[in-house]
Structure formats: structure tokens, C-alpha cells
Structure 1
């Protein structure tokens, strides 16, 4: 049986783990599942209730967050082998915090409603550090009843919740715009840092100067230090932006919108993934540009 106020988190990656720990800090009974045993063990060690299956975690909660990687995984958790909808009590809130094609979000919401659930299209932004601090931005759309029921959980994981109406897919459309900008800005940051290296500039000095100038962006401030330090620990991997910019360009094609910068950035991320960098931090696209220019970046042996 579900317990009043209990929350489940499916997927304990960089964002899901942060959300789950934020829920625990807020004093909410928090259940979780991840396919990786080590992720479940870590969560249990932090005081959470880890389960061997997604269904077991969902059955214990009245609000469920999905922090899986993509739409196909969300589909499988909800309606496939994960059996989440099959075991959930009627009226359970399913907050799908997955970056996906808005059309997929709309379809999931329709099927969740038909099953007697309360859907929230609820993608997030902010990175792993803000997730861990409970300060993510949540873009959310869905029925008022879902917002009311999920309110304490949303407050626990988010610095701000942008309520974007009741229409399913509205939040995923907004996240798509965010990811367009994020992906293009990462590519631009990598391009700038490689050019700076080719010009003989000190990369840390570049970061300090640009940080106080008009060319600054959040992504430059966050990712440029990864390049300057030669540290490509995957807080957000190249493969993520192959997926996300693919969503952007696919949706743009369907809408008849021209997105040349997104097209170029996607080509760069795909080239990086093809070079075996897909699991590295997304700033690793700089390695592709450096190789083209014959430039050696920090951490690359020179």
C-alpha cells in the first residue's frame, strides 16, 4: 500500500540521485530504484528505501519521479517491464522528468490519465550540483490536482518550479528550447577555448576575463573550467546532447523552423560520440576541435 506523502524516484543518475537525497533531507519518505546495484546501495546507505524493482518503489509511493535517460526508458518503466502504472494506486502522480520529444510527453500523459493517474510533464535543469542541493529548475505542466499532490516533493527538489499550464507537452517544449541553447553554448564554449589555446592564451585567464564580459554564458562558466583542467568526468555526457539536440532538430524539421546553429552543434556532438567520447563530459567536444586544429589541450599529454 502507498503511504501518504511517500515519494519514489526511478533512476539515480546525477539528477535523480540529487533529487532523491533532497527529498530525504526534506523529511519525506523516499523510495528509489536504479538498475545499478551500487546506486541502490549508495541510496540505502544515505537512509533511503532502495528497491530491487521499479514496481516495488512505485507501489510504495503516491508521487513518482522518473529520472531515466530517455523516452524509451520512460515508456518501459511506465507501461512495459517496469510495470509502474500497473501497480500504482489510482491517483498517483507521475512526474516524468525526462528530456524527450514533446509528442512523446503528450502521449504518455494521455495514457496515464486513461489509467487513472495524475501526469506531470516535468523536465528539469540545473546540473548535478543544483540537483544535490535541491535547487533544480523544474519546468512542469499538468492538472492542478497533480501540482497540489506533488507540491511538497517539488518544493524539496527545486529552487523554482515554472508552472506552464495544464497542457501535456508544454513543459517538454520549454525544455527543448533550453537544450537548444545549452547545446549550442557548450559547442561555442569549446570552440572559444580551443581558439584561445591555439592563440597561446592562458585558459584560466580566459575564463576569468570572459566571466566578467558580455561573451559570458552559464555554460561557458560551467564547462570551460572542465577544458582548462583537462577533467572530463561525465556530469553530463556527450551522448546526452546527441539525444537532446536530435530532439531539437527533429521537432524543428516538423515545425518548418530553421535551426542552423543546432544542426552544427549536433554534428559536432555526433562526431565526438563517433570518436569514442560519448560517455565523457559534454565539454569533450573540445577534443574534436582541438584535433582538427592540431592543438593540445590540458590533460591530453602536452
Structure 2
């Protein structure tokens, strides 16, 4: 750990929708070294106060805590151990005693496998998937669900407390955080799909969608996902022929599809029937097959009721 444990040297690997605002948030308090495969994302991190790095290994050089914010298991392993477009993984330069914080939703098996490989070189892992979206990532108001031993958790605590307003240590096992996040995503995925269905129905019956979102948000039908996605779903119908006018991309549809696949797979392994989640999963899969993978997940509503 750095001379002052309250200001650990921190690396952030992955500067996407969540990683970039997290890097910016951390750079306001700690020395931050940041990596992404796309140079323009590294440039944005530099403008936010982070030192851009050409490889994950460069970013992790001398780091006390390495925060990983990537899409899936493949990217997680690539960032740490190299492969694909990444020539030098972070594990190459991680010092003994460093802590890797996985903030991504990648599944139990993935974090456990990575933790075992890191342990061979004396590096600890904190399983800490986050929830709350990009705006909250930038303001340090994330919900963070942690699975980690006490020593690893304490080493990562200054970084986690900078990122999250709500920090829950779910259990001591690597994977406990992923399990809690999977349960969280089951509800998020269902709520988003339900919001899309309700607003598609409202539009088909001639109700103004902005008004519908406002009314629904004040009663028993209210949910975080309706409040967050609802206005963007309404904007989906404002897209003009030149492609302008739609909502900004905040949460890719293929990300929630990936998360719901983890939900269904883990539930099957546990022997728990999750028929509503499975139905939502199929809806997301249909959206991906219809070319909406890279769209904001609010575009789901257009699958149910065309623009």
C-alpha cells in the first residue's frame, strides 16, 4: 500500500460507460492510471485527471488497487492475463500484496477462476460488482455488493468508499458479490422488460409516454428502472429519419442480455424456477437478433411497438 493508505495508487482497466466515470471519480482523490483498448477513451480519462496507459500492464505498474470495469469474462481475463487485442495483461506487473477489484458482472465461476490464478502470485481479489448506472458512478453513489476476505476488503475499502454510497459485504467468499448482483439483475432485467411492455401498450392506446412515465412513477407501479429507462423509452420514438433525436447510449442492450443469461444459468444450476426472468431473457435475445445489441437498452420498447 502507498505511504498513505487513504490514497492508494489505483489503476482502472476498462473505460466504457461505467469505467470512465469511475476513473474520473477516483482521479479526484487518488493517483489513477487508466487503460482502455480505445485511444479516445484513454484521452477522455486523461482529461478527467487520470494518467493514460498503453497496456493493462502499464496501468497496473506500482498500483495498490486495480479496478476492472469490463463487459464480460473474456475481457476480464484478457485485461489480467493478455490475449486478443491486449498484448500485456495487468498480472504481468502486479506486485505481491496488490488487490484486484472486479466491478463487472461476469458470474461466479469467472471470478473464482481469476482469483485462483492471481493468488499464485500473491495478489488478492475483491468481488465487487456495482449497480446504479453511469451517472451514479461519476458521483460516487453506486451500490456495491462485495464478496471478499476481511484483509482484501480493508485494502480496497478507500477505493470502494470513493465509488459507492452504499457498500454491502455480502459474504467472505469470492463469488458472493456476483451472486448478489445476479439476484439484483434478475429484478432489473424484469423491471426493464415490464416497463417496455407497459409503455408500448400505453403508446398503442394513444397515451402520451412522458405523461405515462410521470403517472406510473407516482404509484405502486413505480420502480428505479421505470424512472431511469422510461424517459429514454419515450425518446426512442422521437428518432428522426437522419438518426438524430433519440436517447443517448447509457446501457447497451447486449449487456443486460448478458446479465440475464447469467441469471438464468445460475438459477438453473441452483434448481430454482425463474420463469419470468426466462421470458425477459428471451425478449432481450430477440432484440439482439433484430440488430439492437449496440443500442441503449431502452430500445427494447421499439421491438414491441415499432417507431
Q: Same fold (TM over 0.5)?
A: yes
Deviation of 1:93 after TM superposition, in Å, equals 0.4
Please say if residues 6 and 62 of structure 1, whose CA atoms lie closer than 8 Å, have aligned partners that are also in contact. Answer: yes
Task: Provide closer, same or farther for how the CA distance between residues 3 and 49 of structure 1 changes in structure 2, counting only shifts above 3 A.
Answer: farther
Provide the aligned C-alpha RMSD in A.
Answer: 1.3
Contact 2:189–2:256 at 8 Å: present in 1 too? yes
Aligned equivalent of 1:296: none
Matched, 1:246 2:261: yes
Q: Output aligned runs, 1:138-177, within 5 Å.
A: 138-177=144-183
Structure 2 equivalent of residue 66 of structure 1: 68
Residue 80 of structure 1, CA deviation: 2.9
Query: In the alignment, what sits opposite 2:126?
Result: 120
Structure 1 residue aligned with 2:281:
266
Instruction: Summarize the Cα distance change of 1:185–1:173 in structure 2 as closer, same or farther, 3 Å threshold.
Output: same
| 1:147-199 deviations in Å (ceiling 9; x for gaps) | 22112111111111111221110000000011111011100000000000111
Distance 1:34 1:28 in 2: 19
Could you tell me how far apart the structure 2 residues matched to 1:213 and 1:190 are? 17
What is the SS of the residue equivalent to 2:171?
coil
SS at match of 1:227: helix
CA distance in 2, matches of 1:47, 1:245: 35
Rounded to whole Å, the distance in 1 between the matches of 2:19 and 2:178 is 18
Residues of 1 paired with 2:301 and 2:35: CA distance?
34
1:78 aligns to what?
80
Give the whole-Å Cα distance in 1 for the aligned partners of 2:151 and 2:268. 35
Contact 1:8 1:60 in 2 (8 A): no
Residue of structure 2 in register with 1:257 after alignment: 272
Q: Structure 2: state its 5+ residue gaps.
A: 237-245
In the alignment, does 2:25 pair up with 1:22? yes
| 1:131 aligns to 2:137 (yes or no) | yes
Q: Deviations over 1:25-61 (max 9, x none)?
A: 2x20011000110011111122210101110001131
CA distance in 2 between counterparts of 1:80 and 1:258 reads 37
- Judge conservation of contact 2:233–2:301 (CA < 8 Å) in 1: yes
Q: 1:202 — aligned with what?
A: 208
SS at match of 1:119: strand
Q: Give 1:228 deviation, angstroms.
A: 1.3
Partner SS for 2:305: helix
Determine if contact 1:33/1:40 at 8 Å carries over to the other structure. Answer: yes
Moved more, 105-114 or 48-57: 105-114
Tell me, yes or no, if structure 1 residue 280 matches structure 2 residue 295.
yes
Distance 2:271 2:290 in 1: 31
Q: Say how many residue pairs are matched.
A: 290
The alignment partner of 1:95 has SS state of strand
- Distance, in Å, in 2 between the alignment partners of 1:195 and 1:29 is 50
Whether contact under 8 Å (1:120, 1:140) holds in the other structure is yes
1:9 alignment partner, one of 2, 8, 12? 12
The runs of at least 4 aligned residues of structure 1 exceeding 3 Å deviation read none
Q: Cα offset for 1:114?
A: 2.5
Say whether the 8 Å CA contact 1:63–1:93 is kept in structure 2.
Answer: yes
Partner of 2:217: 211
CA deviation vs aligned residue, 1:55-76 (integer Å, no higher than 9, x gap): 0001131100000110111012
